[in-house]
Chain A
Amino acid sequence: MTTKSATPRSATDAITRLVLRNTIRNPLRFVGLILLGYIAFIALSNIIDGDYTLELFVRQLIFGLSQGSIYALIALGYTLVYGILFMINFAHGEVFMAGAYFGFFALYAMGETGLLQSQTALALILAVVIGALGSATVAVLLERIAYRPLRSAPRLVPLITAIGASITLQQLFLRLFGASARRYPDVSLYVLPNVFKNLECSIVEGVEVCRGMDLIRGLYTVDVLGLTLRLRPITFIVFFISLAMMGALWFIIQRTKTGRAMRAVAEDKSTALLMGINVDRVIVTTFILGALLAGAGGVLFALIPGNGQITPTMGFLPGIKAFTAAVVGGIGNIPGAMFGGLFLGVIEAIGPSLLGLDHQLRDVIAFGMLVFVLIFRPTGIFGEVLSEKKV
């Protein structure tokens, strides 16, 4: 589809080519451009009218980044599996949900034994770890039972299986743990009482006690650069933890032997097999890595105040959106998935109020963006052009 073009002779020539390429040769792009222009016009007029303020923007940007980092964590799982097996692991959203559930039961158990109250930070970390491990177990079983027997089947078959597995997992969790929402316990993690002297103060037995900053449930008003923002520390924590995990994943893939084996299998399974790589094990590892990220993401997601109600169907929408993010970034491409997730989170947070839309139409923005990306860059923003043989 990319036209092979000789180096343009002059600037006018280049512009003519650009115009031609986006109008007559590809009317679809033309329509897309007009639509984009219209959207930009609405956004601009909203900004000029003062309906959309800088404060709102910064607040939504921060919220979007934290939401987007969760999307990115899930999207990585999709991208990893797609990179190796060329299949959409439709059940990955349910793996995310499983993480949230396992984390919930871990927190509940620790709450019963008192660990959550005495060692809150440790308990939270443990919950994230248990959530991640639980997700990994689910993913391993999924791969073993549903996907492995179909490795050489036509492409539609594993996709249908994945849809079936997604429904099965969702319903199994629903029947096992109940259809009603489970509520994450209200945890507060106070830090640095000596630095934040005037936060979370209450009067206990006539003495004012300040416990410092509440990292999980706190909501604080901050003045930065003349902007008055109300921020939650948890959004930053989720964002940075996610970044750290993505960094770890990048390290594993680029620098370790396992990572090298994964890249080799992604390149060519049979050659990798000839090189003495245990392809089955590499595939399982891939599923585990993706599930660890998704499971941890599930617990982090549920820890954000407002997301504490977890249900067996909670994985569906984030799962679909994360796949969208993976496609936007260029599926099979790891930095692409990270970028796509963050991008989607931000667009989704900013979009409705910037365009003056109903908040219910938030999801429409996400999917609309997917369509735009596919019109202008079908391989995704970071995607390489896959050869037809591979796809």
Chain B
Amino acid sequence: MVPGDTLRKSLSFTAGILILTLTGIFGSFESRAVIRDTLYFDMVLLTVMISGTAYLVAAPLRERGLVPAVLNGLVGGLVVTVGLALLVILQLNVDMRFVFQNLGNLNGGTLTFKQTIDPGNGSLNGLLLLLAYGAGLGALAGALVHAPPRLRSVAVISATLTIILGMVFGQVQRVIALPDALMLLVVVSVAYGVALRLPDTGSPRLTLRLGVGAAIGVAFAIVLALIANNGGLDSGGILRGSGSMPAILQMTISGSLPGFMAVLVVAGAVGALAAGGSPLVHNGTAYLLVFLLVLGVMNWQGRMTITSALLIFGLLALLFWFAPLMAQRAERSFEKTPRQDQQRMLLVFAAAAFGVMIFAPQFLGLYISNVFNLIALYALMGIGLNVMIGYAGLLDLGYVASFAIGAYTLGILTTPNLLTCGGVHPDNIPFPEIEATCTGVMSFWAAWPFCVLFSALTGALLGIPVLRLRGDYLAIVTLGFGEIINRIIMSNTFKPLLGGAQGITPIPTPALDLTAVNDTWVVNFNNSASFFYLFMFGLGLAAFVVYRLANSRLGRAWRAIRADEDVAQAMGIHLVRNKLLAFGISSAFAGLGGAVFGASVQGIFPNSFTLLVSINVLSLIIIGGMGSIPGMVVGAMILVGLPELLRELDAYRLLAFGALLVTVMIVKPEGLLPPKPARLSEGATPPQSDAEMVQAVQAAQGVQVAQKGSHGD
């Protein structure tokens, strides 16, 4: 019943788990709560390790029925726990502190279920518990092999997200209050429901929908405002609920009723539009609403309790269960919409999304805004590097060089130094005269185009010597460039200009002076919420430029070079010019990123410009899916955003990162969101697989045969 393969596999997984244990992973997460006072992350880890092993061991036996699967799962779980138990006993007898410095005392920790064992007087309860847990969980995981696949994946995804939410509770708790979230949900759902029942034949469908949605929003706004003004927001009032004060509802009594109405009108319109939108729009709205609701629940509960965990899990499970079904329905109704309407609808929706984005940082708070800024920065650089790697096929491991050049150009141009003060060291100028002497100092707005330009130029220049190199040589030379730049900015030789190890501080914060229009309009970009707009601008610009470039003559030339240099040259593509353009454009985006980054941290520190930046950007391209712009954003969210939220797991961040790279490459080498194959002609869908290709060809032949037949008649 238990094939040798099971033992072999369980043993190798156990070896990996033991190595992880030796790094002290359980001790590190002992006090990291997922559910307050109930579930800690170390237990989650142990559970994942055991059930993961058991599942992978049992999975190949799916065909053989339930009993072998359960049995093999049990064996897998048992092998893991026996290994762990042996390690605990080994630690009791051998002092391993010198070698494994992070390994705390396993006895009395997670592995013994907080019980102290003592083989001397026979108290082995902790270890027995561990073995029982391993066997039981293993059997359960083995049985899971036979669960319906969709149910299984929904459960796993929801549970994972619940755990992640539990761990980032403190950071996301203040985003939205439950009454606000519920109100938005109700308005959107009502508008959605009404829009679904609208007559299908009305010709100006879009206007009708928008009108109905807006009307629903206005109706809700009036009713809610009436309730609120009659004490509905007092403590114990029906609109108040518990948790923190609902910020949007608060607008009804704080005098900004028009703003409140606008929010609800937008919500109503979004709901009405989503009813006939494309599947992406449709489900995007659903995801957004459920996540807002989940955040509302977290705000209401104040901390992760068992109740809130179950609630969140339930909400997420419902969402993931129904999302594909809803998408199918949306797809069907969307296909019936005339094409012109489709495009207009997407346009309106993009405008609505833009509006949401504009207001987002005001609700998100500084910390979350900062995370979004980092995501945008890395997505921007990913899009830039993608030009080189994804389109032109030039592997660049020294992307950080262009990033650093952009940042340092900003630093040099916006602060007093040798260059901007006409060759005099600013330390030698008396303070009151600095402004008069250093005439070269620019504002951020004047300086950033120079950063982009200079970055692009140096990028193209660096490209010249490596033009003829291919593949790995190129990789190593660009890596060398990155290191050279890093050494140069750190060195004392260039300290007068580049600041050496101290870097350049402070960089003045950019300010948008609109006093010419209105006396009070001065926007000072001095915190992460305001920089959000700059980063989004950069990201939007990069996405737009690259999107347009990808389908241009230049983009096609790059792809031809990537496919085969010699053939591309034979087809009349100018290799040098196109490659240099790839280098230049790619570096320009890094320069832009560097400039905004330098301004946002208000200083330029050489430690920010290490090889790790290049590797991060490269990895997010690879993991997101080479060549796809949404892939970059998703990649940045996973590789930059998630670790940033899980800051406390810093010790294991890079380890997980490396392991993720290896795993993704082995399991899904094309990335998570690979670009769609280019459509050959309007309306043509490319065949998905060989089988479909064959079908398509047969169908085409069938048509020909039929035509011949008809000619014969």
Which chain B residue shows the least CB distance to A145? B662
Judging by beta carbons under 8 Å apart, are A160 and B472 in contact?
Answer: no
In chain B, positions 454-471 with a C-beta closer than 8 Å to chain A are: 464-466, 468-471
| Residues of chain A with a CB closer than 8 A to B22's CB | 176
Cα(A378)–Cα(B472), bound, Å: 12
- Is residue B493 within 8 Å, beta carbon to beta carbon, of the partner chain? yes
Minimum C-beta distance from B570 to chain A (A): 14
Which chain A residue shows the least CB distance to B665? A161
Judging by beta carbons under 8 Å apart, are B655 and A88 in contact?
Answer: no
Question: How many B residues face the partner with a CB closer than 8 A?
Answer: 53
Minimum C-beta distance from B430 to chain A (A): 31
In chain A, positions 261-299 with a C-beta closer than 8 Å to chain B are: none
Interface 1/0 per residue, A167-205 and B, CB below 8 Å: 111111001111010000000000000000000000000
Which of A146, A168, A170, A327: most chain B Cβ within 10 A?
A168
Interface hit among B281-289, B330-338, B480-488, B551-559:
B480-488
Judging by beta carbons under 8 Å apart, are B659 and A105 in contact?
Answer: no
- Is residue B223 within 8 Å, beta carbon to beta carbon, of the partner chain? no
Cα(A23)–Cα(B24), bound, Å: 61
Judging by beta carbons under 8 Å apart, are A160 and B102 in contact?
Answer: no
Cα(A28)–Cα(B461), bound, Å: 11
| Residues of chain A with a CB closer than 8 A to B369's CB | none
In chain A, positions 123-175 with a C-beta closer than 8 Å to chain B are: 145-146, 149-150, 153-161, 163-172, 175
Which chain A residue shows the least CB distance to B666? A149
Minimum C-beta distance from B459 to chain A (A): 15
Judging by beta carbons under 8 Å apart, are A363 and B487 in contact?
Answer: yes
- Is residue B490 within 8 Å, beta carbon to beta carbon, of the partner chain? yes
Interface 1/0 per residue, A320-332 and B, CB below 8 Å: 1001100100010
Judging by beta carbons under 8 Å apart, are B483 and A163 in contact?
Answer: no
| Residues of chain A with a CB closer than 8 A to B475's CB | 88, 159
In chain B, positions 1-59 with a C-beta closer than 8 Å to chain A are: 19, 22-25
Cα(A86)–Cα(B471), bound, Å: 10
Judging by beta carbons under 8 Å apart, are A160 and B619 in contact?
Answer: yes
Cα(A150)–Cα(B657), bound, Å: 19
Interface hit among B93-101, B541-549, B685-693:
B93-101
| Residues of chain B with a CB closer than 8 A to A388's CB | 566
- Is residue A236 within 8 Å, beta carbon to beta carbon, of the partner chain? no
Judging by beta carbons under 8 Å apart, are A1 and B665 in contact?
Answer: no
| Residues of chain B with a CB closer than 8 A to A52's CB | none
Report whether over half of chain A's contact residues are helix, strand or loop; otherwise say mixed. helix
- Is residue A391 within 8 Å, beta carbon to beta carbon, of the partner chain? yes
Judging by beta carbons under 8 Å apart, are B658 and A176 in contact?
Answer: no
| Residues of chain A with a CB closer than 8 A to B655's CB | 167-168, 171-172, 175
| Residues of chain B with a CB closer than 8 A to A175's CB | 23-25, 102, 651-652, 655
Minimum C-beta distance from B149 to chain A (A): 24
A167-B471 contact given A178-B102, A320-B479, CB 8 Å threshold: no
| Residues of chain B with a CB closer than 8 A to A86's CB | 472
- Is residue B215 within 8 Å, beta carbon to beta carbon, of the partner chain? no
Judging by beta carbons under 8 Å apart, are B477 and A374 in contact?
Answer: yes
A361-B491 contact given A164-B659, A176-B22, A374-B477, CB 8 Å threshold: yes
Minimum C-beta distance from B592 to chain A (A): 25
Judging by beta carbons under 8 Å apart, are A165 and B658 in contact?
Answer: yes
Judging by beta carbons under 8 Å apart, are A361 and B493 in contact?
Answer: yes
| Residues of chain B with a CB closer than 8 A to A161's CB | 661-662, 665-666
Judging by beta carbons under 8 Å apart, are B658 and A159 in contact?
Answer: no
Judging by beta carbons under 8 Å apart, are B488 and A370 in contact?
Answer: no
Judging by beta carbons under 8 Å apart, are A324 and B615 in contact?
Answer: no
A357-B658 contact given A149-B666, A363-B487, A378-B468, CB 8 Å threshold: no
In chain A, positions 31-81 with a C-beta closer than 8 Å to chain B are: 32
- Is residue A19 within 8 Å, beta carbon to beta carbon, of the partner chain? no
A163-B661 contact given A157-B669, A175-B102, CB 8 Å threshold: yes
Judging by beta carbons under 8 Å apart, are B23 and A164 in contact?
Answer: no
A-B contact count (CB 8 A): 150
Which chain B residue shows the least CB distance to A141? B15
- Is residue B622 within 8 Å, beta carbon to beta carbon, of the partner chain? yes
- Is residue A245 within 8 Å, beta carbon to beta carbon, of the partner chain? no
In chain B, positions 475-515 with a C-beta closer than 8 Å to chain A are: 475-477, 479-481, 483-484, 487-488, 490-493
- Is residue A360 within 8 Å, beta carbon to beta carbon, of the partner chain? yes
Judging by beta carbons under 8 Å apart, are B476 and A324 in contact?
Answer: yes
Cα(A145)–Cα(B661), bound, Å: 13
- Is residue A371 within 8 Å, beta carbon to beta carbon, of the partner chain? yes
Judging by beta carbons under 8 Å apart, are B493 and A327 in contact?
Answer: no
A370-B669 contact given A358-B493, A360-B490, A360-B491, CB 8 Å threshold: no
Contact of B662 among A168, A358, A391 (CB under 8 A): A168
- Is residue B345 within 8 Å, beta carbon to beta carbon, of the partner chain? no
Minimum C-beta distance from B380 to chain A (A): 21
Contact of A177 among B99, B466, B652, B662 (CB under 8 A): B99
- Is residue B183 within 8 Å, beta carbon to beta carbon, of the partner chain? no
| Residues of chain B with a CB closer than 8 A to A391's CB | 470-471
| Residues of chain A with a CB closer than 8 A to B492's CB | 358, 360
| Residues of chain B with a CB closer than 8 A to A172's CB | 19, 23, 655
Minimum C-beta distance from A288 to chain B (A): 19
- Is residue A15 within 8 Å, beta carbon to beta carbon, of the partner chain? no
A165-B98 contact given A361-B487, A371-B477, CB 8 Å threshold: no
Cα(A295)–Cα(B48), bound, Å: 35
**A interface residue numbers (CB < 8 A to B):** 1, 28, 32, 82, 86-88, 105, 108, 145-146, 149-150, 153-161, 163-172, 175-178, 180, 320, 323-324, 327, 331, 357-358, 360-361, 363-364, 367-368, 370-371, 374-375, 378, 388, 391
Q: Name 22 interchain pairs, CB-CB below 8 A, sorted by A.
A: A1-B468, A28-B465, A150-B666, A156-B622, A158-B665, A159-B395, A163-B619, A164-B662, A167-B655, A172-B19, A320-B480, A358-B492, A360-B490, A360-B493, A361-B488, A363-B487, A364-B484, A371-B465, A371-B480, A374-B466, A378-B469, A388-B566
Which 9 A-B pairs rank lowest in CB-CB distance, beginning with the nearest?
Answer: A164-B661, A167-B658, A178-B101, A168-B658, A367-B480, A175-B23, A171-B655, A164-B662, A161-B665
- Apart from A160-B665, A357-B493, A364-B483: 19 A-B pairs, beta carbons within 8 A: A1-B468, A88-B475, A88-B476, A154-B669, A157-B669, A159-B395, A160-B619, A163-B615, A163-B618, A167-B654, A168-B659, A172-B19, A175-B24, A175-B651, A176-B22, A176-B102, A320-B479, A331-B472, A367-B484
